[in-house]
Amino acid sequence: MIRIASLILILLAGPLAAQDLTLPAGARQISDRTSPLDSYDLPTGPFADGSLPVRQIEGRVERLTWRVQSGSSTTLQLLAPLREQIVAQGYEVLFECEARSCGGFDFRFGTEVVPTPDMYVAIQDYRFLSATRGDDVLSLLVSRNPPSGYIQMIRVTPGSAEAPPPLVIEETVNQAGGLTSALEQNGHVILDDLHFRTGEITLGDGPFASLTEIADYLTANPGTRLALVGHTDDTGALDANISVSTGRAQAVRARLIEAHGVAADRLEARGIGYLAPLTSNASPEGRELNRRVEAVLLVN
């Protein structure tokens, strides 16, 4: 059986009530920026006439982001199940929009977004929702940069700097979705939790959940091999970038062999520098996304 993880987010809103928000299968929490006392400008309408209407809320502010393997899913397909869940839990949708009706560029840069690489927003491909339940407010922002999707949730509990009941994240086993499901469906997947020092080829200490999943997948599927392919942004000469991307792919291969017991003959490592970008290198966000290592499925 292929082990595929999904995350279930449990938001406890009071001593007698709990709400369960189930994220897409394979979601990985990227960041948690929680302030015990802060303010948040909750958008209440689209950007128009040179301004963005907001309601400023003070209290405990939780800023959370996730990355998912979205495949061919649209932003609406990412948002709709989350919207249904918060409505079922008693939230009233205050405002909802897609990129163009939100105000495009102006809305994107007029509202609060967790900095990259923890959150990515494509100017023409995002959706936003704000909702209230009593004094509590939350917003959801989703976007895509295929094959990845991004989810941001900001929740404010006003009136007190004391922590509400804790946010609990549980890992479960699911039969569909996740990193290895995306690998089978698309033939390749980004190993998006890996960390390298800037300009270096040494892989961080980890542990990295993506490598554990890859090793488990190879164990469960003995007729498969993988090519690990390194990618860079377009800073510098091509030869230098190919060297760096190859070195990083080789470092990932070595970690799978040495730490996870994968047979060496089931893994290849290559680097192609900046020749296959995910997006434009014209912005820091784009360059960050283009620096990556992918696993490519090879079936004997």
CATH at residue 242? 3.30.1330.60
Q: What is the mean predicted confidence (pLDDT) over 2-15? A: 32
Give the number of C-alpha atoms closer than 13 A to the C-alpha of residue 128, restricted to the C-beta side: 29
Residues 6 or more apart whose CB falls under 8 angstroms from that of 205 comprise none
Q: Look at residue 258 and tell me if it is in a domain.
A: yes
As for how many domains the chain has, the answer is: 2
- Among 118, 147, 172, identify where a domain stops: 172
Q: What is the CATH number of the domain that holds 86?
A: 3.40.1000
Residue 214 pLDDT: 92
- For residue 11, with 0-12 CB atoms within 10 Å meaning exposed, 13-18 middle and 19 or more buried, which class applies? buried
Instruction: Output the six-digit token pair for 67.
Output: 């990355």
Question: What is the three-class DSSP state of 9?
Answer: strand
Residue 166 is given by DSSP the state P
How many beta carbons lie within 10 A of that of residue 15, not counting itself? 7
Range of the structural domain that residue 103 is part of:
7-172
Residues 166 and 191 in one domain: no
> What is the distance, to the nearest Å, from the Cα of residue 164 to the centroid of all Cα atoms in its chain?
25
Residue 178 pLDDT: 62
Structure confidence by residue, pLDDT tens digits, 177-229? 467 777 887 788 888 778 876 667 888 887 888 899 899 999 999 989 999 99
Residues 19 and 143 in one domain: yes
Residue 15 pLDDT: 28
Residues 251 and 166 in one domain: no
Q: Look at residue 246 and tell me if it is in a domain.
A: yes
Residues 266 and 228 in one domain: yes
Structure confidence by residue, pLDDT tens digits, 116-173? 778 889 888 999 999 999 999 999 999 988 778 899 999 999 875 455 444 443 333 3
Residues 99 and 24 in one domain: yes
Residues 161 and 222 in one domain: no
Q: Look at residue 180 and tell me if it is in a domain.
A: no
236 and 222 Cβ atoms separated by less than 8 Å: no
Residue 19 pLDDT: 40
Q: Look at residue 178 and tell me if it is in a domain.
A: no
Q: Look at residue 234 and tell me if it is in a domain.
A: yes
Q: Look at residue 2 and tell me if it is in a domain.
A: no
Task: Read off the amino acid at residue 123.
Answer: I
Question: What is the three-class DSSP state of 71?
Answer: coil
Higher-confidence position of 8 and 148? 148
Residues 164 and 194 in one domain: no
297 and 188 Cβ atoms separated by less than 8 Å: yes
Q: Name the band, by pLDDT with cuts 50, 70 and 90, for residue 300.
A: low
What phi and psi, each to the nearest 5 degrees, are found at residue 72? Answer: -95, 5
Q: What is the mean predicted confidence (pLDDT) over 63-91? A: 87
Residue 125 is given by DSSP the state B
Residues 138 and 56 in one domain: yes
Residue 162 pLDDT: 52
Residue 39 pLDDT: 94
- Among 140, 172, 204, identify where a domain stops: 172
Residues 165 and 229 in one domain: no
**Assessment of whether the complete model's pTM goes beyond 0.75:** no
In terms of Cα–Cα distance, which of 18, 25, 19, 23 is closest to 3? 25
Dihedral in degrees, nearest 10, Cα atoms 83, 88, 89, 91:
60
Q: Look at residue 181 and tell me if it is in a domain.
A: no
CA distance 85 to 80: 9
Residues 164 and 192 in one domain: no
Q: Are strands 28-43 and 17-22 parallel, antiparallel or unpaired?
A: unpaired
- With b meaning 16 or more CB within 10 Å and e meaning fewer, what string describes 207-217? ebebbbbbbbb
Residues 92 and 218 in one domain: no
Q: Look at residue 207 and tell me if it is in a domain.
A: yes
Residues 229 and 271 in one domain: yes
- Among 111, 142, 172, identify where a domain stops: 172
CA distance 155 to 228: 38
